[in-house]
Amino acid sequence: MDNVEILTKKLLIFFLHIPKNGGTTVFEHLFKFLPVERLHKVKIVEDMADEQSRIQSRIFSMTEAQRQDLQIVFGHTVSDHLFSLFPGRNIKLATIFRYPPDQIVSDFNYHTERFTDHKKGNHEETMQQFENWYSNKRSDQMSHWLVAAFLSIASEASRDLFQKMDSPTEIDDGLASIDVANTPEWLRLKSADQTLLRQAFYILKKMDAVYLTESLDTQIKPLLRLLKVEQQMQNKNVSGKHLPKRLTLNEKLSDRLIRDNPVDMALYRLVKLRRICDPIFS
């Protein structure tokens, strides 16, 4: 058994799926090529606080051999509290982040197709639908999801650290100088936004891989190669291909969404600049 085979056998990936960032594409690709005993999907529930007992119950019910067979734990709520159940495993955390305006428009297109009876209208009608939908969405939804999903089932050590993030910490060193002008943009955020950014940044720093939706096909190939599955993925739930594309992002809308979502934009820039982690499993 060579080193790569040993690494692959011990590898266990916890993949946190932030909605509308490309996670469905990755999961369905893995589901197609991996044996069912190697992949466990954590399904979303309304109350994230219920996830811990539900996930633990499912994994606690596995035999030791079944746990050893697992290679991927995938879902909207995964965290570090389960690591202790897999002693001796080479555990990796991964997620996908997306350019915020693209994520918001994709979310709208998906929502209006799957959960409403809106018919496609002209641009003015579509924009009114968007305004109605967007008015009920909070800003920085990827960062909020990341924090809510992770913290709800985080380890005690992570929870303790989170309690200290309403004031400056050593994490701030990694948050300085994230815009083109080399200015500590995050300092201009409101206090609550600074705390959210610290929390989300801390979580992403725990990741071994943070992929970007826009370059996912290329970035994820080393992982797929390590898992010995087909490296060419077929995108899923794509607006304009699998779902109607009711709204298209333009420059005006993009500028507005950038202003509305400063924490998500800050994190996106950090991932883009690879100031968080390199999206390669080694």
Would you state the pLDDT for residue 281? 66
* pLDDT tens, position by position, 87-125: 889 999 899 999 999 999 999 988 887 655 555 567 788
Would you state the pLDDT for residue 133? 92
Average pLDDT on 197-201 reads: 84
User: What is the identity of the amino acid at 169?
Assistant: T
Residue 230's H or E segment, with its range, is none
> CA-CA-CA-CA torsion for 196, 42, 53, 50, nearest 10 degrees?
50
Among the ranges given (57-61, 177-181, 203-207, 249-253), the one the predictor scored with the smallest mean pLDDT? 177-181
Would you state the pLDDT for residue 3? 44
End-to-end Cα spacing for the chain: 18
Would you state the pLDDT for residue 86? 87
236 exposed, middle or buried (CB, 10 Å; 0-12, 13-18, 19+)?
A: middle
- Secondary structure of residue 121 in the 3-state scheme: coil
Place of tokens 């800050």: 266
In eight-state DSSP terms, residue 95 is E
Cross-strand partners of 173: none
> Does residue 201 have a pLDDT over 50?
yes
**Measured distance CA(106)–CA(19) in Å, rounded:** 10
The crossing angle, in degrees rounded to 10, of helices 251-260 and 262-272 is 100
The domains found in the chain, sorted by start residue, are 3-272 (3.40.50)
Residue 159: band (very low, low, confident or very high) from pLDDT cuts 50, 70, 90: low
In eight-state DSSP terms, residue 87 is T
23 phi and psi, to 5 degrees?
Answer: -65, -35
> Does residue 240 have a pLDDT over 50?
no
Would you state the pLDDT for residue 106? 92
Q: Report pTM.
A: 0.83
211 exposed, middle or buried (CB, 10 Å; 0-12, 13-18, 19+)?
A: buried
Question: 270 near 276, Cβ under 8 Å?
Answer: yes
Would you state the pLDDT for residue 211? 95
161 phi and psi, to 5 degrees?
Answer: -70, -35
Residue 92's H or E segment, with its range, is strand 90-97
282 exposed, middle or buried (CB, 10 Å; 0-12, 13-18, 19+)?
A: exposed
Instruction: Give whichever of 53-57, 157-161, 201-205 has the largest mean pLDDT.
Output: 201-205
Would you state the pLDDT for residue 187? 59
